[in-house]
Amino acid sequence: MSRRKSLKLVAKRPSADVPRPSRVEAEEAVRTLLRWAGDDPGREGLRETPARVARAYEEYFSGYDADPVALLRRTFEETEGYDEVVLLRDIRFESHCEHHLAPVVGRAHVAYLPNRRVVGISKLARLVEVYARRLTIQEKMTAQVAAAIDEVLEPKGVAVVIEAVHQCMTTRGVHKPGVTMVTSRMLGAFRDDASTRREFLAMIGKLGGEAGGFA
């Protein structure tokens, strides 16, 4: 992927040109949905719900206010020549699908092959959270996490695998509990070099029976 294309992928805030409604308007929209569900927003149990939902949205979607590029920019160059894979495995995240606003809960595995510079390991978890706390689809989130690392750290390679359960599939629609969606994005050495890719897949336990067509 070209650097130019990835820059677009890591854009700070997709809605920069869309004016934000007031809290009063947001709460009124929740009342509308409650009526649409068939209930009475005026009854006691629902009276505080619009305010609670508005606050919950601030938490679910806090990723819109975060800048993934700034997050990764503080890097460390004293790596004593370390040039092996850096992997953060099993980063749990909660997101929401952009098609149904339904929860998506999963785990991300994020690796890169440093090119002199490394980033504090907690930043990788934070990066996943930034993109998870936006409306998204899993394919896009996977590509965005990989592109941001590629863009800022300019490593020799980036690998991202995300496994997640989509509640829009498990609690509605086709009602298929127990299915997990797996997406991956490999850049640089992880894409071009089969042994580097295999090393990563082995590290996250995806090599062997379960690996599917990964390796």
Is residue 168 involved in binding Zn ion (CB under 5 A)?
Answer: yes
Per the annotation, the verdict on 166 as an active-site residue is yes
Total of residues contacting Zn ion (CB under 5 A): 4
| Cα dihedral 66→68→69→72 (10° resolution) | 120
Considering only the stretches 11-19, 43-51, 165-173, 184-192, report the one whose residues sit in contact with Zn ion under the rule CB under 5 A. Answer: 165-173
Catalytic residue among 25, 28, 58, 98: 98
Considering only the stretches 75-83, 96-104, 143-151, 183-191, report the one whose residues sit in contact with Zn ion under the rule CB under 5 A. Answer: 96-104
Looking at residues 11 to 40 of the shown chain, list those that interact with Zn ion (rule: CB under 5 A).
none
Instruction: Return the CA Rg of the chain.
Output: 20
Per the annotation, the verdict on 98 as an active-site residue is yes
Is residue 99 involved in binding Zn ion (CB under 5 A)?
Answer: yes
Distance CA 160, CA 110 (A): 5
Is the distance from CB of 200 to CB of 179 less than 8 angstroms?
A: no
Per the annotation, the verdict on 84 as an active-site residue is no
Q: Judged by CB, which is closer to Zn ion: 87, or 168? A: 168
H helix intervals, the chain: 3-9, 23-37, 49-60, 68-73, 121-132, 138-153, 167-170, 189-192, 194-203
Active site residues per annotation: 97-100, 138, 166, 168
